[in-house]
Amino acid sequence: MRLVSNFHLSTLVLRVNGSYSPRLPWRRQGGVAQSKESVIATVPGDHRVNERIRVENVRLIDNEGNQRGVTTTREALALARSLDLDLVEIAPTAQPPVCRIMDYGKFKFDEAQKAKESRRKTQNVGVKEMKYRPKIGPGDFDTKTRLVEKFLTEGHKVKVTIMFRGRESAHPELGKKILDRIIDKLVDIAKVESAAKLDGRNMIMVLGPDKKAKPKAEAVKVEEVKTEEPATPATPLVVEASVPAQESQEES
């Protein structure tokens, strides 16, 4: 049987069909064979825990946050198991690596909750667009303006576009009047980030949410409610009016 001279017999594998092929290493990465121990790694952003910590010595922090100094990984792991906790590598680049004894399941749960809360608080702010016509009717104007108000209260910016057709482009003052009406109606929650300007056949203005104007608007509403409250002394007047009627009946 003819063998390839470049390979030693110990590096060849006999296949079922009787041919020989080179024995491959356990894992190749970048053309270089690696052992199992060097290939084992954690997920990016994760921590090595318990038996996955392969160094001989670690700098240990116990479950109460006390520094235990440098100790062997075996002793640190035994201490963690005696407390029914985990040994977690928190600083793998230190010399020696820093490990801490903790409840790793609870730690991961708390980290996931914090990430979820931060994602919930971050708003996905975008730019919405609302289109008007110079001859828009009152009903359509109110409907579109309510949508603009909704977008602003959600934290979005709104691009207001006035679309001119035909000879309407010769009267840009009509579009300016509509934009002024929108500003007057949304003055409590919006601010003009980009003033009205002509862009071809369109007139464009960009509005943004005004965070400083919200407390002012709420304060005005509270004052209006307070002024309307002391206007219901109706029941004492009814009682006083009914007293003379009863007395007249008794006299009769």
What is the number of other CB atoms lying within 10 angstroms of the CB of residue 178?
22
Q: What is the pTM of this model?
A: 0.41
119 is a domain residue: no
Task: Tell me whether residue 158 is in a domain.
Answer: yes
Give the residues of the chain that fall short of pLDDT 70: 1-45, 121-125, 213-252
CATH number at residue 49: 3.10.20.80
Residue 71: give the domain boundaries. 44-105
In whole angstroms, what is the distance from residue 35 CA to residue 53 CA?
16
* pLDDT the model gives residue 99: 95
Side-chain-side CA neighbours of 174 within 13 Å: the count stands at 16
What pLDDT digit, counting tens, does each position of 135-174 carry?
999 999 999 999 999 999 988 899 999 999 988 888 999 9
Per-residue pLDDT tens digits for 45-63 = 578 899 899 899 999 999 9
Residue 249, pLDDT score = 46
Flag whether 59 is in a domain.
yes
Nearest Cα to Cα of residue 99 among 71, 66, 60: 60
Specify if 114 maps to a domain.
Answer: no
Model pLDDT, residue 242 = 44
pLDDT at 227: 52
Q: What is the pLDDT of residue 13?
A: 52
